[in-house]
Amino acid sequence: MYLFHRMENYEIYHGKQGRYLNIWLILCLFPRTCVSNPYKPNFLLILADDLGIGDVGCYGNDTIRTPNIDGLAKDGVRLTQHIAAAAVCTPSRAAFLTGRYPIRSGMASSTQRQVLFWNGGSGGLPPNETTFARILYQQGYSTALVGKWHMGVNCKTRHDHCHHPLNHGFDYFYGMPFTLVNECQGTDDPELAKSLQDTYWFYTQMIVLAVFTLVIGKLANLFPVKWKIIICLATCGLLHFISWFSSYGFTKYWNCILMRNHDITEQPMNLQKTTSNMLKEAITFIERNKRRPFLLFVSLLHVHTPLITTEKFQGRSRHGLYGDNVEEMDWMVGRLLDVIDKEDLKNTTFIYFASDHGGSLEAHRANSQLGGWNGIYKGGTVWKAHYATPVFQPEASGACFRRGICPCFGDGVTHHDPPLLFNLSQDPSEANPLPADTEPLFDTVVRRMKRAVEEHGKTLTPVPQQLSPYNNIWKPWLQPCCGTFPFCWCHEENNKA
């Protein structure tokens, strides 16, 4: 049984309680109605990272070979109108796991930092959120996540694991608690550092100046201020300084790690063996649980930069390293399908393939683009209104190459009043905004959108902002470490030896 899903990944259903359920979660809740077999079906969910809609054959690509993914589409259901809840990893994956808009769990950022930046941060998917893994675990399923997480690890101490997959319904985890970035490889331009360094250094300078001013004022009796406040401010400045310093070389050790359950197995991770290790873990889990209902969520590191590709697939495609990485991903999908067939689980397993969102247009090396192709699409529903649009760099590129990720706030956006309105059924590429003065439905549609936003806002409950500046700054006492901090390095095979 194949449920194939692509494009921008998230069809959302609205319930009376403000809950949002995607299509396969409904299947999870009503397993007996889905198959003739009276037993509970298995679920194999495969999520690609930053895959563009135009990168696989079943959506029109005729130059990158994806026979296994195309086979899923041919034998199953190809979904074409699903929409991601966010354009970046952390909030999109939070919605994927919970069936709720990320703003409801505090996973939607109100700052320029739209994703988690550190394993050693305190932000992440709140423990009280209900995931599809928890629902199935409570129904007797064996549940596993193999691959990327990127939704936090700890809250208050290095070992509380409050955001960890094992605290969200998975009874087994092997993979990367963070996400692949160029720093993991160490040969490309820094990915996180590019957007972090200037910000951290600016705040470090401002805080140091404020501390210096307060100390002088305190000693000279110019104004009353408690030493406790000065110490807290100085500590904050120190954290910003350490984060700035860490972004120049320690990111590989802090973020590029592998874990098995709560234990760190590689710090930093061996990129050349990551693909084979994760595939082996996924296959072993299927073989180990073939006689009981299971949920296996394979959260691929492909095709996120820096496009770690084994030697076997390098140079095989007609689209450089990115095409090689896509074809290796398809091979991994094929291996998973093979083991499902081998264990005679094909007729009792729902297989669901998707991407967390579209391709990363900003991914590039020199003048070569390394990200996927999104075709004519920019995401959206039947009507779409832009109240603000990014200031693209360069203009009309549809991307923000200088910033790395297009901002949603501040001087990086242009505001529109009235909004730019598009009819996606006639203009799916959003090339021609409807004129406010001549389009007869313009005011009606804008009023309806405004009313929908207001009604949605009434259903929101204030929650802690997980991507706030405080939660998204590196905290040494939260950093996962397999040695004695700060001497954090280990390798599983060496430890076994």
Tokens of 395: 């203009």
Region 346-357: what's the mean pLDDT? 94
pLDDT score, position 182: 86
pLDDT score, position 7: 37
Q: Assess whether pLDDT exceeds 80 at residue 25.
A: no
pTM (two decimals): 0.82
Amino acid at residue number 382 = V
pLDDT digits (tens, 9 = 90+) for 424-465: 888 988 889 999 999 999 999 999 999 999 999 999 999 999
Token pair 């259901």 is found at 77
Are 163 and 124 contacting, i.e. CB atoms less than 8 angstroms apart?
yes
Mean pLDDT for the chain?
86
Least confident of 52-56, 292-296, 370-374, 383-387: 370-374
| 248: number of Cβ within 10 Å | 12
pLDDT digits (tens, 9 = 90+) for 220-253: 888 788 888 889 889 888 888 877 776 666 788 8
Tokens of 419: 């909004």
pLDDT score, position 380: 58
pLDDT digits (tens, 9 = 90+) for 300-341: 999 998 999 999 999 999 989 999 999 999 999 999 999 999
Element (H, E) at 294: strand 294-299
SS3 24: helix
Share above pLDDT 70 across residues of the chain, in percent, rounded to a whole number: 87
pLDDT digits (tens, 9 = 90+) for 132-180: 999 999 999 999 999 999 999 999 999 999 999 999 999 999 999 999 9
Most confident of 17-31, 109-123, 243-257, 359-373: 109-123
Region 260-264: what's the mean pLDDT? 97
Element (H, E) at 490: strand 490-491
Report the distance separating Cα 378 and Cα 372, nearest Å: 13
Closest CA to 287 of 245, 325, 344: 344
Using CA of residue 413, residue 414, residue 420, residue 424, what is the dihedral sign? Answer: negative
Element (H, E) at 243: helix 227-246
Would you call the peptide bond into 268 cis, given omega within 30 degrees of 0 as the criterion? yes
Q: Of 5, 14, 58, 150, which residue is the catalytic one?
A: 150
* 232 assigned to active site: no
Share above pLDDT 90 across residues of the chain, in percent, rounded to a whole number: 56
* 89 assigned to active site: yes
Would you call the peptide bond into 303 cis, given omega within 30 degrees of 0 as the criterion? yes
Q: Which residues contact 206 (CB under 8 A, 6 or more apart)?
A: none
Tell how strand 413-423 and strand 490-491 pair up: unpaired
pLDDT score, position 9: 36
Q: Of 5, 28, 89, 164, which residue is the catalytic one?
A: 89
Task: Give me the DSSP letters along 297-339.
Answer: EEE--TTSTT----GGGTT-SSSHHHHHHHHHHHHHHHHHHHH
